Amino acid sequence: MDISALTVKLLVLFLPGIITRMMIERLTVPHDRSQLYFFLHAFVSGVLAYVEYGLILFTWNWAVHGKARADIRFLANLVDSSEPLAYVEVLSVCGIAIINGFLLSALINRNLLNRLARVLRVTKKFGNFDVWGYVCNSPIDSLKWVRIRDHRHDLCYEGWVEAFSDTNAGCEVFIREVRVFKNESGEFLYAVPGVYSALDPRDVTIEFYALDIRESESLPIGGEDDVIELQATERRGTRKHRRETHQTGRRIQGRPQSSSHDPAAPV
């Protein structure tokens, strides 16, 4: 058996692992990885898919036929070059690999491993590539409402984030229901349904004015008294803000109220 035929056979055998790895790269934030890392991950993912397939066969044979056995040809194909490929088996494992790709991508995107580790106080890492990804991928809905202050052009954009770039390398963001103000004076300029912007981190500040401290995933122990005091301050500020927005008629339906400051108060 020549080397080219062996290579093709190995590629077919580990096609499930390659599928899982390609799905993860497509559905999660891309990272610069070496080819060695890709193939190691594909190998582990492929072995995992075959193990799951074996467990399914074992359970099926035991429940239906009363025989505790799982006839899989994967190991035989690895150790015996003359063993023919079981194409039905490979296709079945590919189906499992697709499911694994979705599940592992969800696990990575939601940082479930890091969340569990933080609960157990194993680590303080949040799991994202950078803070930009942590904020933009957060499940907290109030983080979608932002106030982007462009200090260079003296403008303030207020709206909710619909789309964003994967990393902070480009800092691209698309926001909807946008109100534009002068940053220094707070003067209202105009409203527009949507704005796309490529932000320069050196000249831009992003505020999350709708965020409630109780929504934090890492509220320090003993901070409950501060939360109660902050809630009282927010209630006073919210009542004042509602009176002001009712008089000016600038409130947009569905837009959350800020705490104790005007939406475009100068900084």
Domains and CATH numbers, the chain: 3-109 (no CATH), 139-248 (2.30.30.100)
Could you list the beta-strand ranges (E) of the chain.
Answer: 145-150, 155-164, 172-182, 188-198, 204-207
Condensed to tens digits (0 to 9), the pLDDT of residues 18-36 reads 999 999 998 887 777 788 8
Q: Is the pLDDT of residue 259 over 50?
A: no
Burial (CB count <10 Å: 0-12, 13-18, 19+), residue 1: exposed
Does the global pTM surpass 0.85?
no
Condensed to tens digits (0 to 9), the pLDDT of residues 209-236 reads 888 776 666 555 554 455 455 555 555 5
The confidence score (pLDDT) of residue 251 equals 40
Read off the amino acid at residue 14: F
Cβ pair 161, 150 in contact under 8 A: no
Mean pLDDT across the stretch 136-146?
83
The confidence score (pLDDT) of residue 136 equals 79
Condensed to tens digits (0 to 9), the pLDDT of residues 148-198 reads 999 999 999 999 999 888 766 668 899 999 999 999 999 999 999 999 988
CA 138 to chain CA centroid, Å, is 7
Residues of the chain with pLDDT > 70, as a percent, come to 76
Cβ pair 132, 50 in contact under 8 A: no
Cβ pair 251, 245 in contact under 8 A: yes
How many helices and strands in the chain, by DSSP H and E? 8, 5
The confidence score (pLDDT) of residue 257 equals 62
CA dihedral 241, 243, 249, 252 (to 10 degrees): 40
